[in-house]
């Protein structure tokens, strides 16, 4: 059978995630030190796991409300009030989703008409452009640059705005760069959104993981923003709950209602076990991640100074758990660098090009890995860089 | 707490160089601060946390609950320090509750511990009573799980 014309044009033309290709090179090898992951190196804190075991023993295995358990939505409302200084009504303004990935997908589907433009920044997490295309939108890329430590510049955003622009999508701190937003730049982008009457989706998944005593500020906190913002957050990164697939969206009631319609037909509800885990995680709050955050900060210091020490220029990222060193000085492309490093030294990093063409010339190293392994990986990477340069 | 001390409590095996990079200070400062902490008794010592079963260590460990009578000057301190000085005593804590000192004793076998308790510990002036409880199996020691944490696995590459 000729399958090409059986598959939708949009999906046929969608590239596979570049991470997927690289994953297949690494899988099955047991000798690899991996800086290639996108998740914490510790399992979910035990009190959270224990609470779920107890809920299973009690037989809590049913569907929940499409919106998610009320107790969880109340917990989310309190948590969001504390962390983002913005309050949402658990009954009408919060939706529990299967990870932020689902929340992002249904947010785009809820607001985009075919041809509507979405401004987003690259390098970025792999799903932005495909999610926009799958919702029949047009992705409009704004590059973030190393010279700005991968913050998004308002003047670049302004240039990208057209009469078809409907949404600006933000994700700070950013995967894969670790870049964060200076508050004054965020204020300017907020003003642009108000001026042009745009929606803003803000993916806050790394917002707890900030370093050097920084306080997180979300774009939703700026004047005129609450009414036009969909705040997307989840439990994966701070609470080390990637595999639970639990996220949420906070938005004004009409937007939440539109998202809920898609969610109820395609997902019904997030798994109840994961929701029980979420309730416990929010009870723990900061205690669940503060030690890890401090430990990440120390690991970041270690890896940044080692990378710069071996001549791979690397800015000191303010958040998330990634560093994004520039590898152009080796004369290799980011894919060549990652593949040769894996083959010769058994260290896995992800080519920056997996996160869009803007990531070319960089590799992503995740430092949510034991400090001893980071040190070992840096020794091996330094050997590799010296060998490449000696050629 | 001092982040350096916190770091060493979790893993004292890291090199001063690596600690210096993690904390963002000079290596010489780390070396000096460790030396100072050792000199003023903040750091009491270093040891590896060992799975004794795997190491083939067949010695026995007992928790001895000791009741003692406090003295007019110094309360429990003089006697507690005296008890702590025995080589067999691995840990000694003053406790709240039904007894005063929790004394953790290691011996080569039951008889060894029993002899220590009956001949040394309970005969000390001021010791009112002892209750000896032998350890059967260690599941977690100094924050480390015996047999590792389990079999959590991460994918080697993830978005």
User: According to CATH, where is 3.30.70.920 located in chain B?
Assistant: 60-136
pLDDT value of residue B92: 97
pLDDT value of residue B75: 87
B5 shares contact with chain A (CB less than 8 Å): no
Residues (pLDDT < 70) of chain A are none
- The verdict on a CB contact (< 8 Å) between A305 and B156 is no
- The verdict on a CB contact (< 8 Å) between A302 and B156 is no
Which fold would CATH assign to domain B60-136?
Alpha-Beta Plaits (3.30.70)
Q: How far is A272 from chain B (nearest CA, A)?
A: 22
pLDDT value of residue A17: 81
Residue B72: pLDDT band (50, 70, 90) is confident
Whether residue B158 contacts residue A37, with contact meaning beta carbons closer than 8 Å, is answered with yes
Whether residue A185 contacts residue A152, with contact meaning beta carbons closer than 8 Å, is answered with yes
- The span from the CA of A232 to the CA of A95, in Å, is 10
DSSP H helices, chain A, are 9-13, 18-26, 46-57, 70-84, 99-111, 128-134, 154-160, 183-195, 253-266, 272-284, 290-309, 334-345, 371-390
Provide, as residue numbers in chain B, all residues whose Cβ is less than 8 Å from the Cβ of A350: 157
Q: By CB neighbour count within 10 A (0-12 exposed, 13-18 middle, 19+ buried), where does A273 fall? A: middle
The stretch B125-149 carries a mean pLDDT of 91
- The verdict on a CB contact (< 8 Å) between A26 and B156 is yes
Mean residue pLDDT across chain B: 92
Model pLDDT for residues B19-59, shown as the tens digit of each residue: 999 999 999 999 999 999 999 999 999 999 999 999 999 99
pLDDT value of residue A391: 82
pLDDT value of residue B151: 61
Provide, as residue numbers in chain B, all residues whose Cβ is less than 8 Å from the Cβ of A34: 154, 156-157
pLDDT value of residue B39: 96
Q: By CB neighbour count within 10 A (0-12 exposed, 13-18 middle, 19+ buried), where does A375 fall? A: buried
B125 shares contact with chain A (CB less than 8 Å): no
Residue B150: pLDDT band (50, 70, 90) is low
Model pLDDT for residues A142-167, shown as the tens digit of each residue: 999 999 999 999 999 999 999 999 99
> Residue B122: is its pLDDT beyond 90?
yes
Q: How far is B36 from chain A (nearest CA, A)?
A: 22
Instruction: Kindly write down the DSSP assignment for every residue of A24-63, as one continuous string.
Output: HHHTT-SSPEE-B--S-SSPSPHHHHHHHHHHHHTT--S-
The answer for residues whose C-beta is within 8 angstroms of residue A287's C-beta and 6 or more apart is none
pLDDT value of residue B152: 62
B155 shares contact with chain A (CB less than 8 Å): yes
- The span from the CA of A301 to the CA of B15, in Å, is 15
Q: How far is B137 from chain A (nearest CA, A)?
A: 22
> Residue B157: is its pLDDT beyond 90?
no
pLDDT value of residue A274: 98
Find the CB nearest B155 among A37, A175, A301.
A37
pLDDT value of residue A170: 98
Chain A interface test: which of B152, B157, B158 (most A C-beta within 10 Å): B157
Number of other residues whose CB lies within 10 A of the CB of residue A67: 21
ipTM given for this complex: 0.72
B98 shares contact with chain A (CB less than 8 Å): no
Locus of tokens 């099955």: A28
Peptide bond into A183 cis (omega under 30): no
Report the candidate in A77, A59, A57, A80 with the shortest Cα–Cα distance to residue A68.
A77
Provide, as residue numbers in chain B, all residues whose Cβ is less than 8 Å from the Cβ of A321: none
Find the CB nearest B22 among A26, A127, A371.
A371
Q: How far is B10 from chain A (nearest CA, A)?
A: 11
- The span from the CA of A57 to the CA of A273, in Å, is 11
Q: Which residue segments constitute the domains of chain A, with CATH numbers given?
A: 4-44+289-390 (3.90.1150.10), 46-287 (3.40.640.10)
């Amino acid at each position: 059978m000729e399958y090409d014309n059986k598959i939708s044009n949009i999906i046929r033309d969608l590239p596979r995630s570049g991470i997927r290709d690289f994953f297949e090179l690494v899988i099955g090898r047991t000798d690899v030190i991996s800086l290639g992951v996108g998740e914490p190196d510790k399992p979910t804190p035990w009190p959270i796991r224990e609470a779920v075991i107890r809920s299973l023993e009690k037989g809590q295995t049913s569907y929940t409300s499409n919106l998610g358990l009320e107790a969880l939505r109340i917990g989310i409302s309190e948590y969001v009030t504390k962390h983002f200084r913005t309050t949402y009504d658990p009954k009408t303004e919060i939706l529990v989703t299967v990870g932020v990935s689902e929340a992002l997908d249904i947010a785009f589907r809820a607001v985009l008409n075919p041809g509507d433009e979405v401004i987003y920044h690259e390098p970025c997490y792999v799903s932005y452009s495909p999610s926009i295309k799958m919702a029949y939108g047009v992705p409009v890329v704004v590059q973030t640059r190393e010279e700005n430590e991968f913050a998004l510049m308002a003047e670049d955003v302004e240039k990208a705005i057209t009469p078809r622009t409907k949404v600006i999508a933000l994700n700070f701190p950013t995967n894969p760069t670790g870049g964060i937003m200076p508050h004054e730049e965020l204020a300017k982008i907020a003003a642009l959104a108000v001026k042009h009457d745009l929606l803003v989706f803000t993916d806050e998944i790394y917002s707890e993981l900030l370093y050097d005593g920084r306080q997180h500020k979300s774009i939703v906190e700026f004047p005129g923003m609450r009414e036009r913002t969909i705040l997307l957050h989840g439990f994966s990164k701070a609470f080390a709950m990637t595999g639970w697939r639990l996220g949420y969206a906070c938005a004004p009631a009409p937007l939440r209602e539109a998202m809920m319609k898609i969610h109820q037909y395609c997902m019904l509800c997030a798994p109840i076990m994961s929701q029980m885990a979420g309730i416990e995680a929010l009870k723990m709050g900061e205690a669940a991640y503060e030690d890890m955050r401090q430990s990440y900060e120390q690991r970041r210091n270690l890896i940044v100074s080692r990378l710069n020490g071996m001549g791979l220029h690397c800015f000191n990222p303010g958040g998330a758990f990634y560093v994004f060193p520039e590898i152009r000085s080796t004369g290799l492309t980011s894919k060549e660098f990652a593949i040769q490093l894996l083959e010769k030294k058994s260290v896995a990093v992800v080519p920056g090009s997996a996160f869009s063409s803007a990531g070319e010339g960089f590799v992503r190293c995740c430092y949510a890995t034991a400090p001893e392994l980071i040190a070992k990986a840096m020794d091996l990477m330094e050997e590799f860089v010296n060998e490449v340069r000696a050629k | 707490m001092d982040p350096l001390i916190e770091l060493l409590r979790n893993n004292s095996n890291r090199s001063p160089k690596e600690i210096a990079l993690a904390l963002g200070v000079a290596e010489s400062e780390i070396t000096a601060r460790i030396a100072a902490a050792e000199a003023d008794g903040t750091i009491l010592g270093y040891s590896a946390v060992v799975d004794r079963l795997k190491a083939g260590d067949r010695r026995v460990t007992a928790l001895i609950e000791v009741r003692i009578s406090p003295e007019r000057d110094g309360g429990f301190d003089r006697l507690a320090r005296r008890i702590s000085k025995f080589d067999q005593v691995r840990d000694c804590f003053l406790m709240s509750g039904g007894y005063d000192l929790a004394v953790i004793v290691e011996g080569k076998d039951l008889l060894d511990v029993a002899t220590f308790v009956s001949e040394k510990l309970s005969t000390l002036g001021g010791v009112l009573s002892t209750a000896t409880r032998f350890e059967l199996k260690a599941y977690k020691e100094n924050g480390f799980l015996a047999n590792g944490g389990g079999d959590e696995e991460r994918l080697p590459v993830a978005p």
